[in-house]
């Protein structure tokens, strides 16, 4: 628990390490795409990532399945064509849900960023903003050489938790509107078919699961699409908010207990020849903070298929809410498809900040649908292109011309599907 009795004023002179045109903070799906989108618009881009790899939850937390979104376009489409060509659909509106190797994706991103002229800084954790008069001038970053300032004209927060925006004072909310509870966390793991019986082990502190109903999600959920004997398992569930100190501490310990317990269960119920071979380096975080942007995406938008004049991403991924109470239920509801408007990424109070990825302005239910990787790639690419336009034209992020943005995205290979059901809302 934080001490209520003390606080400190912390002042330091911090050396500037680099000045870029655009700095992207967080190298997950949104951040990698934002960096590429901005670099393709001719900008000097620095991408700051606190871990040792790019890909975000898709590699660090070993999610390693792309959920279907109904519009395979832009940088996401490129990733599919370059890493998973056998899944590339002829038409943009076909749905795919490929499983991939998180290790290969990690390697792919290193090479991709080099080709795209994005300067990547690993082990660089954002810790604070320097801002005045509605502009961010620099971010303070914890590096292997201590604290350093990274300056830029434009900043894109792709930390997933809206860390940069929140530090700068952008209003935000967390989790379910009624009680602030977020979707639970899951530690992904892999098992490998060894071709011979393995001895199930149950380490100290773990649980004996005998029935499906004993399992944390009350279901068996795994994929075995890679044809190499590897099994990807998504079956743990921990009630916790991954952006809270106490809760993440609890989650990392509890999730690992569950992983060993689930592996032990699977080895006795159909996977007798499978060894536990890989546990993700960190427990996956589905939901933490949402900024309050110029527009908040709602459940109504998702279910009614709202179309927006300032569309930057399109998806028909279902409403998918793992029980925030950690009950053994998941609320899954089909949706036909909807647009996500640019305004969801724009915090009102800053001229040179966008937030892309899962932390955009959205309600709890809407977020459960827009959070998947392909959508975050689309949002990131649009944010990168928009930041470049803002810089070129000298306008604030909120005043970026949608005509110009759509033109630039088209130039970068993004295609928006024609208007389907629902209404089109104006961009202002
Ligand atoms: C268990 C689980 C299962 C999922 N299943 C699927 C699925 O099957 N298919 C699918 O498509 N999606 C799935 N998702 C959702 C999807 O993985 C995420 O919503 C998506 O990765 C979000 O992308 P993002 O770029 O917004 O954020 P993230 O992927 O969270 O990436 C944020 C990045 O920012 C970095 N970062 C954070 N803070 C800082 C800081 N202070 N300084 C520097 N860097 C920082 C992080 O290290 C990370 O690399 C799942 C998520 C989880 C947790």
Superfamily of domain 16-177+287-412 in CATH is FAD/NAD(P)-binding domain (3.50.50.60)
| Structure confidence at residue 424 (pLDDT) | 52
pLDDT at 382 over 70: yes
The reported pTM is 0.97
For the chain, what is the mean pLDDT?
A: 96
Q: If you search the block for the tokens 């700095």, which residue do you land on?
A: 23
- What does the pLDDT read at residue 426? 46
Ligand 1 site residues, Cβ closer than 6 angstroms: 25-31, 48-51, 56-58, 60-61, 63, 65-67, 125-126, 158-161, 163, 186, 188, 234, 284-286, 357-358, 371-373, 376
The band of 326, judged by pLDDT with boundaries at 50, 70 and 90, is confident
Q: Whose CA is nearest to atom 2 of ligand 1?
A: 284
Domain locations in the chain? 16-177+287-412, 189-279
In this prediction, residue 427 has a pLDDT band, given cuts at 50, 70 and 90, of very low
CA 371 to ligand 1 centroid distance, Å: 9
pLDDT 10s digits, 140-163: 999 999 999 999 999 999 999 999
233 backbone dihedrals φ, ψ, rounded to 5°: -120, 125
Residue length of the chain? 428
pLDDT at 425 over 90: no
Give 227: exposed, middle or buried? Use CB within 10 Å, 0-12, 13-18, 19+: exposed
Q: 193 C-alpha to center of ligand 1: Å? A: 28
Q: Which of 35, 57, 258, 259 gets mutated to test ligand 1 (max ligand atoms within 8 A of its CB)?
A: 57
What is the band of 347 on the pLDDT scale with cuts at 50, 70, 90? very high
Ligand 1 atom nearest to 164, measured from its CA:
41
Ligand 1 midpoint to CA 182 (Å): 15
From 34, 63, 165, 317, give the residue whose CB has the most ligand 1 atoms within 8 Å, as the site to mutate: 63
The residue-averaged pLDDT of 349-373 equals 98
Share of the chain above pLDDT 90, in %: 93
Q: Is the pLDDT score of 115 beyond 80?
A: yes
160 CA to centre of ligand 1 in angstroms = 6
**What pLDDT score was predicted for residue 226?**
87
Query: What are the tens digits of pLDDT across the range 7-33?
Result: 999 899 999 999 999 999 999 999 999
**For residue 256, pLDDT beyond 90:** yes
Average pLDDT over residues 362-367: 98
Q: What is the mean predicted confidence (pLDDT) over 360-370?
A: 98
Distance from Cα 260 to the centre of ligand 1, integer Å:
23
Positive or negative torsion for Cα 235, 241, 246, 248: positive
For residue 277, give every residue at least 6 positions away whose Cβ sits within 8 Å of its Cβ, in sequence order, or none. Answer: 190, 191, 192, 230
> Residue with the nearest Cα to atom 6 of ligand 1?
63
The alpha carbon of 10 and the centre of ligand 1 are apart by a number of angstroms equal to: 30
Give pLDDT, residue 147: 98
In ligand 1, which atom is closest to the CA atom of 31? 25
Ligand 1 centroid – CA 28 distance (Å): 6
- Helices 102-115 and 29-39, interaxial angle, to 10°? 20
Q: For a pocket test of ligand 1, which of 23, 34, 52, 159 has the largest count of ligand atoms closer than 8 A to its C-beta?
A: 159
In this structure, what token pair is assigned to residue 384?
């990168």
pLDDT at 3 over 70: no
Nearest to 294 by CA among 352, 341, 358: 341
End-to-end CA distance of the chain: 44
CA 70 – ligand 1 centroid, Å: 20
Mean pLDDT of 69-94: 96
- Distance CA(371)–CA(364), nearest Å, equals 10
- The pLDDT of 199-220, averaged and rounded, is 97
Atom of ligand 1 nearest to the CA of 359: 26
């Amino acid at each position: 628990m934080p001490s209520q009795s003390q606080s400190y004023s912390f002042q330091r002179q911090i050396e500037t390490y680099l000045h870029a045109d655009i700095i992207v903070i967080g190298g997950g799906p949104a951040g990698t795409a934002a960096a590429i989108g901005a670099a393709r618009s001719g900008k000097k881009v620095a991408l700051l990532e606190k871990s040792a790899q790019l890909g975000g939850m898709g590699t660090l937390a070993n999610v390693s399945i792309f959920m279907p979104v109904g519009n395979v376009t832009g940088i996401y489409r490129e990733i599919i064509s370059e890493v998973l060509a056998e899944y590339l659909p002829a038409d943009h509106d076909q749905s795919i849900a490929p499983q991939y190797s998180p290790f290969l994706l990690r390697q792919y991103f290193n090479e991709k960023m080099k080709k795209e002229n994005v300067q990547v800084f690993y082990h660089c954790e954002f810790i604070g903003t320097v801002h005045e008069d509605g502009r961010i001038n620099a971010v303070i970053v914890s590096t292997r050489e201590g604290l350093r300032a990274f300056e830029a004209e434009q900043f894109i927060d792709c930390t997933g938790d809206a860390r940069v925006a929140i530090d700068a004072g952008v209003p935000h909310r967390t989790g379910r509107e009624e009680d602030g509870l977020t979707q639970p966390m899951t530690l992904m793991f892999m098992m490998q078919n060894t071709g011979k019986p393995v001895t199930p082990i149950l380490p100290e502190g773990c649980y004996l699961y005998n029935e499906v109903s004993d399992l944390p999600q009350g279901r068996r959920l795994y994929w075995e699409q890679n044809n190499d004997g590897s099994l990807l398992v998504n079956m743990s569930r921990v009630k916790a908010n991954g952006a809270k100190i106490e809760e993440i501490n609890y989650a990392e310990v509890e999730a690992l207990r569950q992983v060993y317990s689930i592996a032990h269960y699977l080895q006795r119920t159909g996977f007798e020849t499978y060894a536990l071979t890989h546990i993700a380096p960190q427990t996956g975080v589905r939901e933490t903070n949402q900024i309050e942007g110029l527009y908040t995406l709602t459940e109504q938008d998702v279910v009614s298929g709202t179309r927006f004049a300032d569309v930057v991403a399109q998806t028909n991924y279902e409403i998918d809410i793992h029980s925030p109470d950690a009950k053994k239920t998941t609320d899954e509801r089909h949706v036909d498809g909807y647009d996500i408007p640019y305004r969801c990424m724009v915090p009102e109070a800053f001229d040179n900040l966008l937030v892309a990825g899962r932390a955009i302005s959205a309600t709890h239910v809407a977020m459960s649908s827009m959070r998947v990787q392909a959508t975050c790639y689309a949002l990131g690419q649009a944010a990168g292109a928009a930041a470049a336009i803002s810089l070129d034209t000298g306008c604030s992020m909120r005043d970026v011309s949608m005509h110009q943005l759509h033109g630039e995205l088209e130039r970068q290979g993004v295609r928006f599907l024609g208007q389907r059901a629902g209404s089109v809302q104006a961009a202002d």
